[in-house]
């Protein structure tokens, strides 16, 4: 099948085509030509207002419901959401039912690979049933296609278990994730411990709960070696701790959820459970430090931390509501409210190498892995813009800037 993309402005800082407006001819999944003007008989021509093209985007932390929580999100609709939001590769968390803690679960997720053009890269559970007691079958899951190991939103409470995991994983070059929260300090808190939680009568989760866990994990990493990823950090001190660890030469990476850059704990005033996430929304000082951490390269990647939650678990009292927000549909436009188009694309295309996923290339003869978008489309995001089955977005009624047209990847074109 031949597809011709007309008059596309390329956003790819490391490429000779950066900021050039070109035509792109795709045939049988590959880039056949990149020229100023291409005339050819094709099966489909794509022409769109203010069309821009970048390499396909990657997200390191995605949750879907299936298997077990299909009322939240099915894999089919979730992958359609990812594609129409501009993502060509996603790492899927193991918080299904049953927990993805063995090779069969990994193979099930991999069986959906390339649906709608989206590459699915499973994250296996670090421990059996994510109960933080016994290590899961890491080696078997790695052979089945797992790109990392994590107990999603559950800290590794036993430091010896993390030590053993980091030591064992070095035998097959695996990436271990450790969620940054010390439960003995967080306890049953549900909001950032600060002025707003006190004013609202909500039990707080201190920044210390995150920072103490990160400090512990970095000490263990220094002792064991290995590769550690700390997902969704949220405090100023966390950025500093990771900066110092990198200066020491430790093999550590981290991510930040996009909503942590945009919103702060002031949003809790209305007790809207869509703003209940883990880690909790922190202070404006923390948000500024996270943005700076991205600009300085200390924070390695952004994530939507997309987590669909059904209405029964969100439309309840704030303290009883489930943690999580969806974020795929708003990722690009939300980042554009802070960063330039070039920096936004840089952030959305980072992270693959850390998870052992090959980076795509924009050259003639290469497999096409592209995201199509308009960086200057301003609108107010509302529930009608949500593709996900669950509607738990904290971005509803937000004014954002940027529209995704779709993707071409894995021999498939998906348009929004």
Residues with catalytic annotation?
Answer: 305
Rounded distance between C-alpha atoms, residue 191 and residue 314, angstroms: 15
Contact 58, 88 (CB under 8 A): yes
User: Measured on CA atoms in the order 57, 302, 291, 362, is the torsion positive or negative?
Assistant: negative
> Residue 412 is encoded by which pair of tokens?
């498939």
CA–chain centroid gap for 78, Å, is 13
Is 22 strand, coil or helix? strand
Structure tokens at 293: 């951490």
For residues 227 and 214, what is the distance between their CA atoms, to the nearest angstrom? 14
Angstrom distance (rounded) from CA 409 to CA 43: 17
Q: What is the DSSP string of 96-152?
A: SSS---SHHHHHHHHTTTTGGGPEEEEEEPSBGGG-SSSB--HHHHHHHT--EE--T
Write the DSSP symbol of residue 367: B
CA distance 82 to 75: 10
Contacts 24+ apart (CB under 8 A), 29-33: 29/367, 29/368, 29/410, 29/411, 30/365, 30/366, 30/367, 30/368, 31/362, 31/363, 31/364, 31/365, 31/366, 31/367, 31/368, 32/2, 32/364, 32/365, 33/364
Distance CA 61, CA 231 (A): 8
Phi, psi of 408 (to 5 degrees): -130, 115
The residue to which tokens 């390339």 are assigned = 114
């Amino acid at each position: 099948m031949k597809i011709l993309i007309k008059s596309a402005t390329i956003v790819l800082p490391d490429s000779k085509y950066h900021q050039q407006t070109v035509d792109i001819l795709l045939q049988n999944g590959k880039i056949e030509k990149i020229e100023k003007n291409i005339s050819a008989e094709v099966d489909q021509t794509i022409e769109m207002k203010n069309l821009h093209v970048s390499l396909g985007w990657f997200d390191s932390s995605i949750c879907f419901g299936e298997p077990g929580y299909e009322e939240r999100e099915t894999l089919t609709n979730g992958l359609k959401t990812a594609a129409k939001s501009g993502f060509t590769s996603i790492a899927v968390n193991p918080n299904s039912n049953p927990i993805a803690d063995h090779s069969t679960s990994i193979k099930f997720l991999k069986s959906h690979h390339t649906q709608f053009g989206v590459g699915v890269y499973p994250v296996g559970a670090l421990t059996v049933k994510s109960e933080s007691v016994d290590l899961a079958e890491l080696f078997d899951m790695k052979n089945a296609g797992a790109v990392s190991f994590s107990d999603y939103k559950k800290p590794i409470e036993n430091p010896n278990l993390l030590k053993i995991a980091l030591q064992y994983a070095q035998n097959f070059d695996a990436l271990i994730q450790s969620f940054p929260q010390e439960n003995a300090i967080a306890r049953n808190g549900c909001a950032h411990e600060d002025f707003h939680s006190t004013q609202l009568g909500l039990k707080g989760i201190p920044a210390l709960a995150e920072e103490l866990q990160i400090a512990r994990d970095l000490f263990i990493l220094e002792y064991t070696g290995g590769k550690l990823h700390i997902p969704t950090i949220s405090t100023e001190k966390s950025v500093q701790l990771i900066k110092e660890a990198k200066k020491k030469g430790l093999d550590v990476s981290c991510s930040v959820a996009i909503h942590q850059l945009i919103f702060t704990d002031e949003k809790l005033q209305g007790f809207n459970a869509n703003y209940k996430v883990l880690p909790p929304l922190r202070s404006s000082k923390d948000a500024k430090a996270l943005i700076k951490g991205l600009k300085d390269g200390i924070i390695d990647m952004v994530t939507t931390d997309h987590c669909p939650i059904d209405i029964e678990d969100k439309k309840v009292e704030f303290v009883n509501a489930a943690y999580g927000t969806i974020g795929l549909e708003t990722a690009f436009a939300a980042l554009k409210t802070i960063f330039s188009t070039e920096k936004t694309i840089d952030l959305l295309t980072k992270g693959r190498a850390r998870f052992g996923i090959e980076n795509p290339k924009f050259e003639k003869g290469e497999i096409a892995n592209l995201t199509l978008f308009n960086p200057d489309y301003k609108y107010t995001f509302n529930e009608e813009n949500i593709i996900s089955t669950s509607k738990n977005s904290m971005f509803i009624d937000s004014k954002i800037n940027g529209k995704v047209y779709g993707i071409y990847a894995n021999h498939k074109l998906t348009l929004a």
